[in-house]
Copies of this chain bind each other. A is one copy, B any other.
Amino acid sequence: MPMALSTRRMATTAVINGERLWSALMAMAEIGRTPAGGVRRLALSDEDRRARDLLVEWLREAGCAVRVDDLGNIYGRRDGDDAGATAVVCGSHLDTVPTGGRFDGVLGVLAALEAVRAMRDADLRTHRPVEVVCWTNEEGVRFAPAMLASGVVCGRFTVDEAYAARDQDGRTFGEELRRIGYLGKPEHRMRSAAAYVELHVEQGPTLEEEGAQVGIVEGVEGISWGWADVTGRAAHAGPTPVGDRRDALVAASRIVLALRALCAELPGVRATVGRCEVVPNAINVIPGAVRLSTDLRARTADLLATASRRLEEVCAAVARDDRVEVRAREFWQSPPTPFHPAVLSAVADAARDLGHTTLRLWAGAGHDAKYVADRHPAGMIFVPSSGGLSHNEAEWTSKDDCVRGASVLLGAVLRLAAA
């Protein structure tokens, strides 16, 4: 098997420079740094432009040909031996939430940069080209929805929809993209990829709790978002006998607890009520109406459908028992997205060869890799996120974990680029 031999030789010759990776992470964390030590680098802001400028400079220094597409996505290409072969792409995003941390997104971009730097140091030639990508507006907090640019590139949204997205101040994605100088060309978009690999911090506590160094991400869970509207009868908290009450908050509380119980009943399902709006919300008025949000997540379409059906049953039972009306309706669904076996194998092989302990898990949150997986073989690598914290200025992943993740990314990319 000459290919496997070749792969192994390459993986031992190109090595992640941990100090350089960490130094790049900390330098990037200065752009938009908050007093509390986090990062505020909203998509298409001046901070985003400065971060992009630095990335472009680094990519060029690493010998990459840089191009920018009409969504502002930045690609740094390192040619392979076969100029006509489709590239192996790796990357993530540089934008953050308003009080974000130093690792979410940026680790995947800078680990990909470090991978091509390591290849250059080792004077290593891959069969396929390798591309570093930085996706625009992954977070979706400035311009909704999230993963907007990867979504356009992968056919989820139109470019006009993206350009028309407005921030809170009324400025559009299109205007801001032009303003910061990152409005590139449609023909620069990623058209095809032999494989796409994204390294990211876990954003949950599972790796840390299980004592695993590297997460092999098998897919992104399906999500169903909905509203459960409970209508009871507002009445005076004083004179209204308990037996006569049609208390919408009592009924809503039963739904909250039934959804929690549903998670135990259906392993692999997670149900969350994050929002609760009470009407009239006055201390001495029995609540007449409550709106709850429902967030269901599961790994398979079947399990997600079962959870949605159980949610409806729960609402019907509460409506009957509490003499209220309950209207449950889904307003958005993202189907479960399993990642590609070939990409996961490359990740698993790379981690095994490096001697890292691994855990197979699913991503509960969205990532650009989810949309890429619609069109191309894709996969993800997770590294631990301290305490499961993310989207928080105190977000933390250790230098060792970052280096391990980047090393696995490099190993996986070399394997995928060899074929």
* A254, CB-defined interface residue at 8 Å: yes
Q: A295 touching B250 by the CB < 8 A rule?
A: no
Q: A274 touching B281 by the CB < 8 A rule?
A: yes
Binds B, one of A200-208, A301-309, A337-345: A200-208
What is the bound-complex CA distance between A307 and B285, given in angstroms? 19
Q: B270 touching A242 by the CB < 8 A rule?
A: yes
* A297, CB-defined interface residue at 8 Å: yes
Closest to A238 in B: B364
- Distance of A337 from chain B, by nearest CB (Å): 13
Chain B residues with CB below 8 A from A257, complex form: 250, 253-254, 257
Q: A388 touching B205 by the CB < 8 A rule?
A: no
What is the interface of chain A mostly: helix, strand, loop, or mixed? mixed
* Residue from the set A278, A284, A287 with the largest chain B CB neighbour count within 10 Å: A284
- Distance of A132 from chain B, by nearest CB (Å): 25
Q: A204 touching B275 by the CB < 8 A rule?
A: no
Number of copies of this chain that the complex holds: 2
Find A242's partner among B264, B276, B388 (CB 8 Å cutoff): B264
Find A240's partner among B204, B247, B286 (CB 8 Å cutoff): B204
- Distance of A148 from chain B, by nearest CB (Å): 17
Q: A236 touching B203 by the CB < 8 A rule?
A: yes
Chain A interface size band reads 35 or more
* A5, CB-defined interface residue at 8 Å: no
- Contact A283:B275 (CB < 8 A) given known A204-B236, A239-B363: yes
- Distance of A178 from chain B, by nearest CB (Å): 31
Task: Report 18 cross-chain contacts, Cβ distance below 8 Å, ordered by A residue.
Answer: A204-B236, A204-B240, A205-B240, A205-B244, A236-B365, A242-B270, A247-B260, A249-B274, A250-B256, A250-B257, A253-B253, A253-B256, A272-B286, A274-B281, A274-B282, A274-B286, A275-B281, A284-B295
Residues of A within 8 A of B (CB): 202-206, 209, 221, 223, 225, 235-242, 244, 247, 249-250, 252-254, 256-257, 260, 263-264, 270, 272-278, 281-287, 290, 293, 295, 297, 363-366, 388-391
Known: A209-B244, A238-B365, A274-B284. 17 other contacts (CB 8 A): A204-B241, A206-B241, A225-B284, A235-B388, A235-B389, A236-B391, A237-B295, A237-B297, A238-B363, A238-B364, A239-B388, A241-B270, A249-B274, A274-B285, A275-B282, A276-B281, A276-B290
